[in-house]
Structure 1
Amino acid sequence: MWYLKFMANVFMCRRRVLWGDSDPAGVIYTPRIFHYAIETVEEWLIKILGHNWMSLQSDLKLDTPTVKMGCEFFHPLRTGDFVEISLKIEKMGNASIHYSINGYNEKKVHCFEVKQVSCFVNSKTFKSIPIPHELRSKLEKYQMISND
């Protein structure tokens, strides 16, 4: 289950690590972190841009595929733990956006950081396009307030 909120101008999601997210030892299964990160980005897109990935395709004729993604782990998450996941924009290029997605347990211990780079492409040609102005202005505003 996801809970959405803003804390100190940073978008946050909160969820419980479920048994299905974990390995037999009860520790979160590594690929699930990427799933959590991608879900966080989609929830953030809905809240900040007013679009999910499907409406970006249907309404704006663009996609935002992932170009690069990596994760660093700092502390284990276990079945039943709650994790607060924050999203910040590290930088934007002409057609790309670099996210930093961080997870913290209930004791505010930093558990992971996912770095994700996505680019904007035309949904028909899949060729890179500049970030549309109406989206860029919202992204820049969020970047400014969340990095204070």
Structure 2
Amino acid sequence: MGDAPLVHEICVTWGDCDPARIAYTGRLPWFALDAINAWWEAHLGGDGWYQLELDRNIGTPFVNLSMDFRAPVTPRHRLMCEVWPSRLGDKSITFAVHARQDGVLCFEGTFTSVFIIADQFKSQSAPPDLRRIIAPHVRSG
């Protein structure tokens, strides 16, 4: 089992909400993806998806997103997104995200992407240097 999840804080604002005064459903995957990018930045010395794609020619397009909604997300409290890699395959990585407000689980999900050579959009194995960074952090649950 890996180390503790990264906790990424998101300020949910009025502009994120619909007339029912809760966050638009479409914003919830965005919050999760923002947390995953923060995980990459925290573990790659400040580099996230942008730098992976443009500077290292490594793409990670998503092949599966799965989310369960547990409680409404509102602007009343910061959204605390716990994120960690839950699986590292030969050519794929799955992240888990659990998002809470004021201690209440609002949503949880898994997000799987594959490693590609970005400028060729061709599948590749997880680059060895990334595998060395990711592997110690993989944890289930």
Same fold flag (TM > 0.5): yes
Question: What is the number of residues matched between the two proteins?
Answer: 138
1:14-47 alpha-carbon deviations (Å, 9 max, x no partner): 1222111111111111110111011111111111
Determine the structure 1 residue equivalent to 2:132: 137
Where does 1:94-105 land on structure 2 (aligned, <5 Å)? 94-105=90-101
Contact 1:19 1:80 in 2 (8 A): no
d(CA) in 2 for partners of 1:55, 1:83? 26
Q: 1:60 is matched with which residue?
A: 56
Could you tell me how far 1:109 is from its partner in structure 2? 1.2
The TM-score with structure 2 as length reference comes to 0.90
CA contact (8 A) 2:7 2:80 kept: yes
Question: Structure with the greater relative contact order (CA < 8 A, sep ≥ 6): 1 or 2?
Answer: 2
Inter-partner Cα distance in structure 2 for 1:116 and 1:124 = 23
* Long gaps (5+) in structure 2: none
Structure 1 unaligned blocks of 5 or more: 1-7
Map of 1:79 onto structure 2:
75
Distance in 1, matches of 2:133 and 2:37, equals: 15
Task: Confirm whether residue 69 of structure 1 aligns to residue 65 of structure 2.
Answer: yes
Report the TM-score, using the length of structure 1 for normalisation: 0.86
